[in-house]
């Protein structure tokens, strides 16, 4: 893949983790590991130093970050196992909530390795832990609340094998269609990743819940240690190394969206806050103008909401009609988002003199 699709070939000399990102090669203390080889819990000390015995090296590692995922993890793992029939696959669940997910996986999925973190991990941090512990040639990521299609591994690995590719991924659809507040979250969170019949592109960022990463990229750059926007920043870091990020809108993972209107409001606020931070890090003319005049953030919904409608024209049948019915709620969510975005920009501006 560099450029001849060789996972063992090193990154260019300029590659490396950007300042402030976690060192994914630094093991944490206090982890509990349940391995399908031993079937028992052990206090982990030196996972990577373990001798290579037993079955051959996996072709694919699927990493599943989990936080309070007991209700959805079983469906997620069943779908992964179905998709992995033709591959030597290891599945790593990185759990950090202590909600019983670890015990469920131990009892129902003995072929899955689960790591119980002693501290809460961000989505990016959990995936980095998976990258560090993975043994597979190809590294794939999906979240605890997602259902992958049967050809998911085949198609993601096929994309990664294209010359010059650093990462690959696909679109997101709705797994719980009866959840009205969840639809609103979906429209606002995944507006760049609606399913469609379009061709593979290299101009979009990836969603971590439907993604695959070149192993050198994964381990030497890694996700930022955060839960919102980590996939956008990682995608951009890969492009800065001169590598392609391939997005296939026809490769769709179904996602169980958040439920409840209070959770919808909270999440819109969190997305606005994270967007202000991430866009400030990425830079550009638009964010420089918004930093000077944060009140203009309230004009962003005037751009985003019509854009969602236009993109839904190519989405599965019924997605656009449902959006139009829920438009008042989406308007409210976008205003909450804009308010949080503006507030974070004002805070950043107030802190500028102290940073100099």
Model pTM above 0.75: yes
Cβ contacts of residue 350 below 8 Å, gap of 6+? none
In a domain, 10, yes or no: no
Residues 37, 35: Cα–Cα separation, whole Å: 5
Q: Are residues 140 and 233 in the same domain?
A: yes
Predicted pLDDT at 354: 52
Using the Cα atoms of residue 197, residue 73, residue 22 and residue 10 in order, give the sign of their dihedral: negative
Predicted pLDDT at 31: 52
The greatest distance separating any two alpha carbons of the chain, rounded to the nearest whole angstrom, comes to 61
Q: Are residues 210 and 285 in the same domain?
A: no
φ and ψ at residue 128, rounded to 5 degrees: -60, -40
Residue 207 predicted with pLDDT over 50: yes
Predicted pLDDT at 35: 53
Q: What is the 3-state secondary structure (H, E, C) of 56-118?
A: CCCCEEEEEEECCCCCCHHHHHHHHHHHCCCCCEEEEEEECCCCCHHHHHHHHCCCCEEEECC
φ and ψ at residue 163, rounded to 5 degrees: -55, 140
Residue 6 predicted with pLDDT over 60: no
pLDDT tens, 185-199?
999 999 999 999 999
Q: Are residues 124 and 233 in the same domain?
A: yes
Residues 226, 255: Cα–Cα separation, whole Å: 20
Q: Are residues 61 and 82 in the same domain?
A: yes
Residues 333, 339: Cα–Cα separation, whole Å: 10
In a domain, 46, yes or no: no
In a domain, 356, yes or no: no
Q: Are strands 146-147 and 244-255 parallel, antiparallel or unpaired?
A: antiparallel
Residues 315, 297: Cα–Cα separation, whole Å: 27
Domain hosting 212: range is 32-40+57-257
Q: What CATH number does residue 190 fall under? A: 3.90.550.10
Residue 317 predicted with pLDDT over 60: yes
Q: Are residues 213 and 65 in the same domain?
A: yes
Report CA Rg, the chain.
20
Q: Are residues 69 and 178 in the same domain?
A: yes
pLDDT tens, 235-269?
999 999 999 999 999 999 999 999 999 999 999 99
Mean pLDDT of the chain: 87
In a domain, 1, yes or no: no
Residue 47 predicted with pLDDT over 60: no
Where does residue 12 rank: exposed (0-12), middle (13-18), buried (19+ CB within 10 A)? exposed
Predicted pLDDT at 152: 98
Predicted pLDDT at 56: 86
pLDDT tens, 147-175?
999 999 999 999 999 999 999 999 999 99
Domain-terminating residue out of 232, 257, 282: 257
For the chain, the straight-line distance linking the first and the last C-alpha, in angstroms and rounded, comes to: 41
Residues 8, 100: Cα–Cα separation, whole Å: 37
> Quick count: other Cβ atoms within 10 Å of Cβ 215?
18
In a domain, 177, yes or no: yes
Q: Are residues 63 and 199 in the same domain?
A: yes
Using the Cα atoms of residue 201, residue 204, residue 207 and residue 212 in order, give the sign of their dihedral: positive
Q: Are residues 211 and 72 in the same domain?
A: yes
Q: Are residues 276 and 329 in the same domain?
A: yes
Q: Are residues 162 and 192 in the same domain?
A: yes
Q: Identify which of 333, 338, 321, 332 has the alpha carbon closest to the alpha carbon of residue 185.
A: 333
In a domain, 47, yes or no: no
Domain-terminating residue out of 225, 257, 289: 257
Stronger pLDDT, 9 or 117, i.e. the higher one:
117
The total of structural domains in the chain comes to 2
Distance, C-alpha 350 to centroid of its chain:
31
Residues 53, 102: Cα–Cα separation, whole Å: 25
Q: Are residues 80 and 169 in the same domain?
A: yes
Percent residues over pLDDT 90 in the chain:
81
In a domain, 346, yes or no: yes
In a domain, 20, yes or no: no
Predicted pLDDT at 355: 46
Domain-terminating residue out of 214, 236, 257: 257
Q: Are 341 and 304 in contact (CB under 8 A)?
A: no
The mean pLDDT value for 91-103 works out to: 96
Predicted pLDDT at 125: 96
Q: Are residues 313 and 237 in the same domain?
A: no
* DSSP label of 284: -
The mean pLDDT value for 283-306 works out to: 96
Predicted pLDDT at 346: 94
Q: Where are the alpha helices (DSSP H) in the chain?
A: 73-83, 101-108, 123-133, 152-160, 180-189, 215-220, 230-239, 261-282, 285-292, 300-312, 319-325, 327-355
Residue 353 predicted with pLDDT over 80: no
């Amino acid at each position: 893949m560099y450029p001849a699709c060789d996972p063992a070939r090193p990154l260019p000399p300029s590659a490396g983790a950007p300042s402030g990102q976690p060192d994914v090669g630094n093991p944490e203390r206090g982890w509990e590991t349940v391995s399908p080889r031993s079937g028992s819990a052990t206090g982990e000390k030196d996972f990577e130093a373990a001798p290579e015995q037993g079955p051959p090296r996996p072709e694919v590692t699927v990493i599943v970050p989990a936080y309070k995922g007991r209700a959805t993890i079983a469906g997620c793992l069943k779908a992964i196992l179905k998709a992995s029939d033709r591959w030597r696959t290891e599945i790593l669940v990185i759990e950090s909530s202590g909600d019983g997910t670890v015990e469920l996986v131990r009892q129902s999925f003995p072929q899955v390795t689960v790591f119980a973190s002693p501290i809460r991990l961000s989505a990016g941090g959990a995936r980095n832990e998976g990258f560090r512990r993975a043994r597979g040639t190809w590294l794939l990521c999906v979240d605890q609340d997602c259902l992958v299609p049967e050809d998911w591994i085949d198609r993601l690995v096929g994309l990664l094998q294209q010359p010059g590719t650093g990462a690959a991924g696909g679109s997101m659809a709705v797994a719980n269609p009866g959840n009205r507040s969840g639809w609103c979250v979906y429209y606002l969170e995944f507006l760049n990743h609606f399913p469609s019949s379009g061709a593979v592109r290299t101009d979009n960022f990836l969603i971590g819940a439907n993604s695959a990463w070149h192993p050198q990229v994964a381990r030497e750059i890694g996700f930022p240690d955060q839960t919102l926007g980590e996939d956008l920043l990682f995608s951009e870091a890969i492009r800065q190394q001169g590598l392609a990020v391939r997005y296939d809108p026809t490769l769709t993972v179904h996602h169980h969206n958040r439920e409840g209107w209070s959770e919808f409001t909270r999440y819109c606020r969190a997305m606005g806050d994270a967007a202000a931070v991430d866009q400030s890090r990425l830079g550009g003319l638009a964010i420089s103008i918004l930093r000077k005049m944060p009140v203009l953030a309230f004009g962003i919904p005037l751009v985003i909401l019509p854009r969602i409608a236009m993109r839904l024209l190519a989405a599965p049948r019924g997605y656009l009609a449902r959006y139009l019915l829920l438009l008042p709620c989406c308007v409210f969510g976008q205003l909450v988002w804009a308010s949080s975005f503006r507030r974070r920009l004002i805070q950043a501006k107030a802190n500028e003199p102290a940073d100099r």
